[in-house]
Structure 1
Amino acid sequence: MLDVANNLGSTAGHCTAPGVGTLGGLVSTLVQALLAAECAVSPASYWPPDYGDEALLSGLPEPYDFVVIGAGSAGSVIASRLSENPRWRVLVLEAGGDPPVESELPALFFALQHTNFMWNYFTEPSEKACKGMRDGRCYWPRGRMIGGSGAANAMLYLRGNRRDYDEWAAKGNTDWSWRDVLPYFARSVHPTGNATHPQGYVTLNPFDKGEEDILAMIQEGGAELGVPTVAEFTDGSFLGYAYVPGTVHKGQRMSTGKGHLGRVSSRPNLHVIKHAQVTKLNFDRAGERVESVSFVLRGDAQRPLKVRVGREAILSAGTIDSAALLLRSGIGPRQHLEQLQLPVVHDLPGVGGNLQDHVLTPIFIKLDEGRAPLPTREEMLDMVYEYLVHRRGELTTHGTASLVSFINTNTSSRSVYPDIENHHLFFKRGQSDALRLFGTGLSMDEQYLDYLLRVQQQAHIMAVFVLVSHPESVGELRLRTNHYTDAPLLQPNYLTKESDVATMIRGIRYLEALERTAAYRAHAAEIVHIPISECDKAHKFRSDKYWRCYVRYITGTCYHQTGTVKMGPPSDPQACVNPRLQLRGVENLRVADASIMPAVVSANTNAATIMIAERAVDFIRQDWSRHSGESLGSVSSSDSDSESDESVEELQEHWHDDDL
């Protein structure tokens, strides 16, 4: 894809043949149309206007009823829902600005990594994992823009399974069972409002399918091993392969920043301040209420701003930044805060703990070596033209990534729930720019990425993510310093539990079994042997000891960090928020994002994060309706079938094709 621009640059210049200007005029029209189409991919109207200039002029003298910190997947939903009440003034503080145009194209979702549109976090070095990444650190990018990480993710919509949420409830989190949360998943994707009175919702549609022969290979190989293709992942079919819907619409991303916040940004009671980095929550003397929120606008630390909180502050800055902000504001483990000379407002030992993530290892499989066709320059130009003019073609999708599998690799267990999740990323022979973008995004050491690029000169490459669905290894987040510009210390403790290593190796063995199926052999499938000196010197390739060494080097994240502001009952000493998402000891501060998950769900986390936001809105409405005596429209579990999940037909009813 990037090669297109390079190839075009080599042919720049005027034609030498004579002409009367007619063809030149047509070409000029085409070029101007393409430039206009590029601008139309992400017009300013998609995003909420910036209230920052007004904040600088006025100083925000009046309190807002609700101050939402973060315009990511959760924060955008919360602000959109709360501002449905015209009597409530809602302010959103977002550290970034509008997403770049590349965010809109599903095929380019890796392009945002290592840019200023991301919080570019890195884990601490470890002997257990990430040794094959640059400097021995795994890269943990988080979205720094309207839409947050939902403006940079792979857009896959997966809710997790019944056991995930029933286990939350079993831990003492009342009203968080599968039966309880289903209505909120349903509400989040249900189209509401109209052109006159818009309301936010999650847009779901199937991804365009590319690489039909490779998709067939994946499914047929699974079938040979007794793993079926199912219509959807739901009760009775949480295992198998399925095409999952995405937060996409006509070939473009539909983050909550667009679908919830941008869609309703004309409401007079909703303001969004961009490039506003929150530095501190300010409490009353007793530490029982948040009185105001301090922030720096557009990096001007010499002119800090403050906004007063009328009713509640809602912290939705994400698993890393929600915990970090609480710590910088004096809420967390006493010993850690005192070490950094931070005044202790509340001694909450769980803040920053319980850090969980879906650790993964990518296994690279070469396909059709020596016979895979090379892409032509014309095909690449057609790809760009098809997208800009018609919103179709390869740039509207991420190839094989929408075909996801959940596998139970434990042969001693008859569980209907998975211990491994697989994602499939396909890189055509010769399209080195796409593979380099991927490898750089993971922060792979150059020697390993260069080897894969050499392999790709002769073959297609499919990278299969082997994710541990329920990791037992748990990490922690701590502040490096007490200054808001310094990134926190991130210690994921990947693969420190033997059970996680064993599960991951079983996942690799499943891929080896696929490699031997007739479907895979038809494509000359072969797992790539990446030269890793330590592993190759000591162990035979494909032995258990070799794979144990391999996963210590080629380790990554699926961007599903959760749990650092854990939800739990009063009996849990590590819990930070109660089941209504209120921070312990503070009456008007809630946390609503992936950080509250007591355990990471066994699937991609964006859908669950949006559900958490919908739940938070109902808690807020219920609590304030008790104060005012008015009904504010919450939902209950009776609004959905309590015995079974939505059918695939019901889910497809939420797929829609309307314009923004």
Structure 2
Amino acid sequence: MMIRLSIPLGQVLLLALAFAAATTKRQQQLNVEQLRQLGLGNIINLPNYTDLPRGSYDFIVVGAGAAGCTLAARLSENPNWTVYLIEAGGVENLMHLIPVLAPMLQLTASNWNYKSQPQRHACRGMNNHECALPRGKGLGGTSSINFMIYNRGNRRDFDSWAERGNHGWSYDEVLPYFLRSESAHLQGLEHSPYHNHSGPLSVEDVRFRSSLAHAYVRAAQQAGHSRTDYNGESQLGVSYVQANTLKGRRHSAFSAYIEPVRPLRKNLHILTMARVTRVLIDESTKSAIGVELLHGRRRFEVRARKEVILSAGAFNSPQLLMLSGIGPEDNLRAIGLPVVQALPVGKLLYDHMCHFGPTFVTNTTGQTTFPTRVTLSDILSFYLAGNPATRLSSIGGVEALTFLKSPRSRRPSDWPDLEFIFVAGSLASDEGTALKLGANFKDEIYDTLYRPLQLASQDHFTLLVMQFDPKSVGRLWLHNRNPFTWPKIDPNYFRNEEDVEYLLDGIKEAIRITQMPALQALGTRLLDRPVPGCEHKLFGSDDYWRCSIRTMSYTLHHQVATCRMGPASDPTAVVSPELKVHGMRKLRVVDTSVIPLPPTAHTNAAAFMIGEKAADLIRGDWL
């Protein structure tokens, strides 16, 4: 008999642990090494990362996200250098390792929980029209709370960076750094020159796949989208998702780069739960000499002999620069900060905006992700046998991606404008307990569109439609000098109406794919409940979908360009192609804030690449 559980998934997992702990003595005697082999070692042996400052260090790295962990690990390979890695959050735990729980992590202290300024043209389905802007807070950064999608981008993205004066950043020059980081376990791509098998970061197929995903991939091919490796030669087409998981468990930057080497590196010091409040600067030489931080109730000044490196992300790195007197002169003077170096920090902010939908219902049973469909055998198989093919290994329900062109595209033929993210579920998949709250959706949206699906346990899937090349540009600024208050973040979504039209093109193509035989065989049909606020539009018309796009707006935290990379001649640039802050010495920014233009990709893979390349740039300067 199969036991099904009807309580929230987080409680299910805790009960499973209790059950596992209370069974036979043999199971109770699983030792630490066996648990580590299952990826569960830190349940019972949480590491202590409280290396309080001791003197000075060669390099101080602020922020332990994908770029920061990569950089700290690579620099500490030199035993003659000391590296101090400082993180505002804490350490991953069991919940972080379980891919299906990704939506729930956005409700925890592992998320900075940023929200945008109220949006005039988007996020109308969110409370106060504020878009949720999740960013990871903890060792691993956003790689510890995201949906684990591994997607590098298009060759033309990087070539365009180089064409703008960023020498060393063309596709042929950055591909080796993507490969250096990667340990690929991808069926059929074992001999691909676009994948490596010996790096620290695991990239693998998601072993759990619903029949809905298989039907979608076939339908997309029937609609003319070829099968592809979107991290290979051609990005255009449909593919099952490639994920940063290892044997079905999340493989974050911390798990990949820091945890394996930390016991072996006496020169790598790590401090968690510490807030850096500013960079210490010698104004006579415009040199970064260290950082000020708070840990507990104590204030420390930590010195750097060689460099201070900000890897705090697209919001926190610009905030720290401005708190240190580096930023737009008008903003700094308005809040009473002395201007050390006038630079356009935060003046540009690009992000990818999605439409959460359309959603489709099917005649299948048992395929959509619902917490009630996680069985006790799933849980025990995942925990005790290390089975990577249970529903718990689904990366938040994401199973396939499609990269495609809009009919209105002005880009070259091999450069996609849109992405479809196939999810075997919707906001109903966690019964309104996580994703709805984490995304800040109004109750009315959930109750009208999704609660009926939940109550009926109706099988369904969603195609999130994302635009890659938005014309709308936002910004970020400080409104006071308090380092513990958020910066103001205004992505300015859909200010340019053409962005809405691109997503409309995507919705039409998504609906066309569902009309192909493979999905029609499952009885696939569009969920025809009108979005609240759009009832006055004819359902399914272009104007209806335009209204839906502005209401069901959803960002996948791909913010870039707040510390834009460019040559000194570029008036919009904050850092050089070597990632050095213009006009400053011994200060770099190494994270996705330096990306100059919105990439044709999710940004996590690029963060690892940036960390790997920065390590070589720094070694080149100091060796």
TM-score (norm. length: structure 2): 0.89
CA–CA separation in structure 2 for the residues paired with 1:315 and 1:379: 41
Counterpart among 247, 258, 266 of residue 261 in structure 1: 258
Counterpart of 2:459 in structure 1 is 460
The answer on 1:383 being equivalent to 2:386 is no
Give the alignment's Cα RMSD to 1 decimal.
Answer: 2.9
Secondary structure of the corresponding residue to residue 143 of structure 1 = coil
1:442 positional shift = 1.8
CA–CA separation in structure 2 for the residues paired with 1:564 and 1:7: 35
* Contact 2:216–2:514, Cα closer than 8 Å, also in 1: no
The answer on 1:604 being equivalent to 2:599 is no
Counterpart of 2:310 in structure 1 is 315
Counterpart among 282, 287, 290 of residue 289 in structure 1: 287
Secondary structure of the corresponding residue to residue 481 of structure 1 = coil
Counterpart among 373, 379, 404 of residue 401 in structure 2: 404
CA–CA separation in structure 2 for the residues paired with 1:7 and 1:269: 38
Q: Which amino acid aligns with 1:204?
A: V
Counterpart of 1:81 in structure 2 is 74
Q: Which amino acid aligns with 1:600?
A: P
CA–CA separation in structure 2 for the residues paired with 1:48 and 1:256: 17
CA–CA separation in structure 2 for the residues paired with 1:621 and 1:428: 46
Moved more, 395-404 or 544-553: 395-404
Distance 1:101-1:167 versus aligned 2 partners, 3 A rule: same
Secondary structure of the corresponding residue to residue 457 of structure 1 = helix
Counterpart of 2:355 in structure 1 is 361
Q: Which amino acid aligns with 2:142?
A: S
* Contact 2:349–2:560, Cα closer than 8 Å, also in 1: yes
CA–CA separation in structure 2 for the residues paired with 1:271 and 1:3: 44
Counterpart of 1:104 in structure 2 is 97
Distance 1:561-1:30 versus aligned 2 partners, 3 A rule: farther
Secondary structure of the corresponding residue to residue 68 of structure 2 = helix
Counterparts in 2 of 1:21-32, with a 5 A limit? 27=23, 29=25
Secondary structure of the corresponding residue to residue 519 of structure 1 = helix
State how many pairs are aligned. Answer: 592
CA–CA separation in structure 1 for the residues paired with 2:353 and 2:90: 30
Q: Which amino acid aligns with 1:137?
A: E
Q: Which amino acid aligns with 1:332?
A: G
Counterpart among 550, 553, 557 of residue 552 in structure 1: 550
Q: Which amino acid aligns with 1:68?
A: V
Counterpart of 2:226 in structure 1 is 228
Secondary structure of the corresponding residue to residue 58 of structure 2 = strand
1:66 positional shift = 0.2
The answer on 1:339 being equivalent to 2:334 is yes
Counterpart of 1:154 in structure 2 is 147
* Contact 2:465–2:506, Cα closer than 8 Å, also in 1: yes
Distance 1:533-1:437 versus aligned 2 partners, 3 A rule: closer
CA–CA separation in structure 2 for the residues paired with 1:209 and 1:383: 11
The answer on 1:433 being equivalent to 2:436 is no
Counterpart of 1:505 in structure 2 is 504
* Contact 2:399–2:423, Cα closer than 8 Å, also in 1: no
Q: Which amino acid aligns with 1:460?
A: D
Q: Which is greater in Rg?
A: 1
1:224 positional shift = 2.2
Counterpart of 1:251 in structure 2 is 248
Secondary structure of the corresponding residue to residue 413 of structure 2 = coil
The answer on 1:134 being equivalent to 2:127 is yes
Counterpart of 1:271 in structure 2 is 269
Deviations 1:106-147 (A, max 9, x none): 111111112111100000111200110122111011111100
CA–CA separation in structure 2 for the residues paired with 1:578 and 1:376: 48
The answer on 1:185 being equivalent to 2:178 is yes
* Contact 2:371–2:430, Cα closer than 8 Å, also in 1: no
CA–CA separation in structure 2 for the residues paired with 1:447 and 1:280: 42
CA–CA separation in structure 1 for the residues paired with 2:329 and 2:123: 31
The answer on 1:585 being equivalent to 2:583 is yes
Secondary structure of the corresponding residue to residue 110 of structure 1 = helix
1:433 positional shift = 2.8
The answer on 1:491 being equivalent to 2:490 is yes
Distance 1:31-1:447 versus aligned 2 partners, 3 A rule: farther
1:432 positional shift = 4.8
Distance 1:559-1:234 versus aligned 2 partners, 3 A rule: same
CA–CA separation in structure 2 for the residues paired with 1:376 and 1:533: 26
1:486 positional shift = 0.5
Distance 1:378-1:45 versus aligned 2 partners, 3 A rule: closer
* Contact 1:205–1:248, Cα closer than 8 Å, also in 2: yes
Deviations 1:266-300 (A, max 9, x none): 211110011111001110032511112000113x2
Counterpart of 1:648 in structure 2 is none
* Contact 2:84–2:268, Cα closer than 8 Å, also in 1: yes
Counterparts in 2 of 1:179-218, with a 5 A limit? 179-189=172-182, 201-211=200-210, 213-218=211-216
Secondary structure of the corresponding residue to residue 80 of structure 1 = helix
1:29 positional shift = 4.8
* Contact 1:77–1:200, Cα closer than 8 Å, also in 2: no
* Contact 2:107–2:434, Cα closer than 8 Å, also in 1: no
CA–CA separation in structure 2 for the residues paired with 1:269 and 1:465: 45
Counterpart of 2:439 in structure 1 is 442
Q: Which amino acid aligns with 1:528?
A: L
Distance 1:225-1:454 versus aligned 2 partners, 3 A rule: same
CA–CA separation in structure 2 for the residues paired with 1:203 and 1:119: 26
* Contact 1:470–1:601, Cα closer than 8 Å, also in 2: yes
Q: Which amino acid aligns with 2:524?
A: A
Moved more, 218-227 or 505-514: 218-227
Distance 1:436-1:520 versus aligned 2 partners, 3 A rule: farther
CA–CA separation in structure 2 for the residues paired with 1:47 and 1:323: 35
The answer on 1:480 being equivalent to 2:479 is yes
Moved more, 558-567 or 541-550: 541-550
Counterpart of 1:418 in structure 2 is 416
Counterpart of 1:68 in structure 2 is 61
1:201 positional shift = 1.9
Secondary structure of the corresponding residue to residue 577 of structure 1 = coil
1:492 positional shift = 0.3
* Contact 1:210–1:400, Cα closer than 8 Å, also in 2: no
* Contact 1:432–1:456, Cα closer than 8 Å, also in 2: yes
Secondary structure of the corresponding residue to residue 360 of structure 1 = strand
1:208 positional shift = 0.7
Counterpart among 559, 562, 569 of residue 561 in structure 1: 559
Q: Which stretches in structure 1 are left out of the alignment for 5+ residues? A: 13-24, 192-198, 626-660
CA–CA separation in structure 1 for the residues paired with 2:366 and 2:268: 53
Q: Which stretches in structure 2 are left out of the alignment for 5+ residues? A: 16-20, 185-197
Secondary structure of the corresponding residue to residue 403 of structure 1 = strand
1:528 positional shift = 2.3
Counterpart of 1:171 in structure 2 is 164
1:69 positional shift = 0.3
Moved more, 366-375 or 80-89: 366-375
The answer on 1:351 being equivalent to 2:345 is yes
Distance 1:310-1:425 versus aligned 2 partners, 3 A rule: same
CA–CA separation in structure 2 for the residues paired with 1:599 and 1:287: 31
CA–CA separation in structure 2 for the residues paired with 1:210 and 1:358: 26
Deviations 1:503-558 (A, max 9, x none): 11100111121232222222222222444443212x21111111111111110111
Q: Which amino acid aligns with 1:418?
A: P
The answer on 1:3 being equivalent to 2:1 is no
TM-score (norm. length: structure 1): 0.84
CA–CA separation in structure 2 for the residues paired with 1:376 and 1:65: 48
Q: Which amino acid aligns with 1:353?
A: K
Distance 1:435-1:208 versus aligned 2 partners, 3 A rule: farther
Q: Which amino acid aligns with 2:346?
A: G
Counterpart of 1:636 in structure 2 is none
CA–CA separation in structure 1 for the residues paired with 2:594 and 2:11: 49
